[in-house]
Amino acid sequence: MEAQGGGITVRRALELPGLRGGLPEVVTGADRLGRTVRWVHAGEVPNIASLLKGGELLLTTGLGLGTRPAEQRAFVRRLADRGIAALVVELGTRFGGRLPAALVEAARTAGLPLVQLHREVAFVTVTEEIHTEIVNGHYALVRRAEEVHRRCTEALLDGGGVPQVLAILADFAGNPVFLETPDGQLLYAAGAGEPLQVREGLGGHRPAGSVLVEVPGGAGAASVRARLVIVPVAGALDQVHRMAAERAAGTLAVVLMQARQEEELAARGRGDFLHDLAEGRVAVAEAPAQARVLGFRPGDGPLLPVVMRLSGGLPGAGGWAVLARAVAEELASVGVPALLGVRPVEGRVPLLLGLRAESERAAVADRVAAALRAGAERADLEHTGMPVVVVAAAGGWAAAPAGLRHAAETATAARGLADRPWFDARRLDIDLLLWRLRDHPDLSAFVERAIGPLREHDLRARPPLLPTLETYLAHAGRKAETARELHLNRQTLYNRLARIAELLGTDLDDPHTVLALSLALRARRHTA
């Protein structure tokens, strides 16, 4: 059986034709034949140990062993100290069919596998066979590691990011994988089961046998941007896992070069957690523990999901880090526990807030919305249009996924509404429903039937009548308030309303008509 780590075992070497033809007999160390043979060396000088680096299988006819027991014991002891894999001695006529007792006893004491060959063999043939086996084994490891690299590259080309790369590596290693900042702060975690709880249970300690690979920085940046760590929890790690991690680190370096700052990486990690929570990829029972690892400790009160969606002109390289940092600093003054993330793909900033009581919802929403907008302004994003802030219903962890998802969808559906400090997701359910139907041809047909004549009028005549209808419906048909907001006298308003009713061929006092027109005006924001 081949050894892991670019070598073969002593046992496998003895099975190859070259050594097998010498009728090998294991004299000592039969329980250590699983040692890895890194290379083969043949030599006959007494100081052969000084030429070795460890892991070799040494072939000899015994000319360098010495004739005295003390010399033979010293010879074996020096080889064992070097850490060779095994000593193979061809008996020939020198030893009379049996190795010296001092040699055997020294090997047994040192725990060194000692093999005697009863027939002569060609050492060059043995060397070629074993080296070929080692090279082939190493090539097999390289191919396995390259396969991981290929999968990681494909994941990135398909739109994935750091979580997908780590998930592929964790699946290959069968153990949890963590991406940390150079000072040890967690950025991402992946692996079956509960990797974040595993990390929390380790308490900052790294088990023996862990694989740690540094992710390099780009030109002009710090030499190390992050650290990739595989922890041997479910099984031991070997050389192929290190090789795969090194290739994954190269892939991650490309991804992280775009992020540039650890603040953005951490914010993206929290954003990915909130997104996965919203999409049901994080079990509700596990969510509190994972949130604690990310620094969120809300207490026993309800959670308040909030989503800010940027209107356009999304941050470029490094811009998300500036935004995340600015918003976090603004939120610090609000005085409530907050888990803030960013989702560059969707152009939004999700967060969870910890309330002491549900009655705080409106007051906290006011302060948080102001902090979010102030952070966007500090990140120089205000010029692209004020961001939309949507606040969902407060509840426990079980309600948080639906709340985050509701707020995120509503933030998209709310674009184009009159600017407000924040929107209550529960009051925009009609807008959300219409947004979900935006590509359905029946919705466009409905809008055209309901207000098409007014749109045609406003394209060719003045004054436009759609704003008058919108204001009239917004004030529930109260003409005095409508006239006041439009700065019209009542007769002018009456004339406009009469013209609207004439163009639409309907009665503006009919409740069904009012409902249809209200829906059509809302729906036109989502249709072409």
Beta bridge partners of 424: 391
Looking at the DSSP bridge assignments, the partners of residue 188 are 179
Check whether 515 has a pLDDT greater than 70: yes
Q: How high is the pLDDT of residue 329?
A: 82
Say which CATH number the domain at 473 has. 1.10.10.2840
Helix (H) or strand (E) holding 8: strand 7-9
Judge if 307 and 386 occupy the same domain. Answer: yes
Query: Is 443 found in the same domain as 419?
Result: no
- In a domain, residue 273? The reply is no
147-156, 184-193, 284-293: range with lowest mean pLDDT: 184-193
If asked whether residues 506 and 457 sit together in one domain, one would say yes
Residue 271, in any domain of the structure: no
We report the CATH number of the domain holding residue 253 as 3.30.450.40
Can you tell me the distance from the alpha carbon of 49 to that of 72, in angstroms, rounded to the nearest whole number?
Answer: 13
For 32, other C-beta atoms within 10 Å of its C-beta total 16
Task: Look at residues 3, 152, 156 and name the one whose alpha carbon lies nearest to residue 86.
Answer: 3
Dihedral, CA of residue 19, residue 25, residue 29 and residue 35, to nearest 10: 20
| Residue percentage of the chain with pLDDT more than 70 | 93
Write out the residue range of the structural domain in which residue 518 sits: 437-523
Q: In this structure, is residue 479 part of a structural domain?
A: yes
Q: What is the reported pLDDT for 262?
A: 62
pLDDT for res 412:
86
Lowest-pLDDT range of 153-157, 230-234, 395-399: 153-157
- What is the mean predicted confidence (pLDDT) over 15-31? 93
Distance of alpha carbon 322 from alpha carbon 429, whole angstroms:
33
- Is residue 223 pLDDT above 70, yes or no? no
CATH number of the domain bearing residue 300: 3.30.70.270
- Same-domain pairing of 380 and 449: no
Sign for the CA dihedral angle at 160, 166, 169, 173 comes to negative
| In contact, 73 and 110? CB cutoff 8 Å | no
CATH (domain of 38): 3.40.1390.20
CA dihedral 450, 455, 456, 460 (to 10 degrees): 160
When mean pLDDT is compared over 151-160, 189-198, 451-460, the highest value belongs to: 451-460
Residue 221 pLDDT > 50, yes or no? no
391 and 464, same structural domain?
Answer: no
Read off φ and ψ for residue 392, nearest 5 degrees. -90, -175
| Residue 144 CB neighbour total at 10 angstroms | 14
For residue 104, the one-letter residue type is V
**Is the pTM for the entire model greater than 0.85?**
no
Nearest-5° angle of CA 332, CA 423, CA 288? Answer: 50
Tell me: do 300 and 383 sit in the same domain. yes
Overall domain count for the chain: 4
The pLDDT of residue 218: 55
Q: Both 405 and 334 in a single domain?
A: yes
Would you state the pLDDT for residue 1? 38
Averaged pLDDT score across all residues of the chain: 86
| pLDDT single digits (tens) 160-209 | 778 888 999 999 989 999 988 887 878 788 887 778 788 877 877 888 88
Same domain, 28 and 108: yes
The DSSP 8-state label assigned to residue 506 in this structure reads S
Stated as kind and residue range, the H or E segment containing 305 is strand 303-309
Residue 496 CB coordination number (10 Å): 21
With bands split at pLDDT 50, 70 and 90, how would you rate the model's confidence at 386? confident
Please indicate, yes or no, if residue 329 is contained in any of the structural domains.
yes
| Residue 314 pLDDT | 65
Give the integer Cα–Cα distance in Å for 393 and 304: 7
* Both structure tokens of 98: 């049996």
CB 85 within 8 A of CB 38: yes
Yes or no: say if 364 and 353 are a contact pair by the CB < 8 Å rule: yes
Q: Please report the sign of the dihedral spanned by the C-alpha atoms of residue 438, residue 440, residue 444, residue 450.
A: negative
Residue 424: CB atoms within 10 Å: 16
Q: Nearest 5 degrees, angle CA 352-CA 353-CA 359?
A: 130
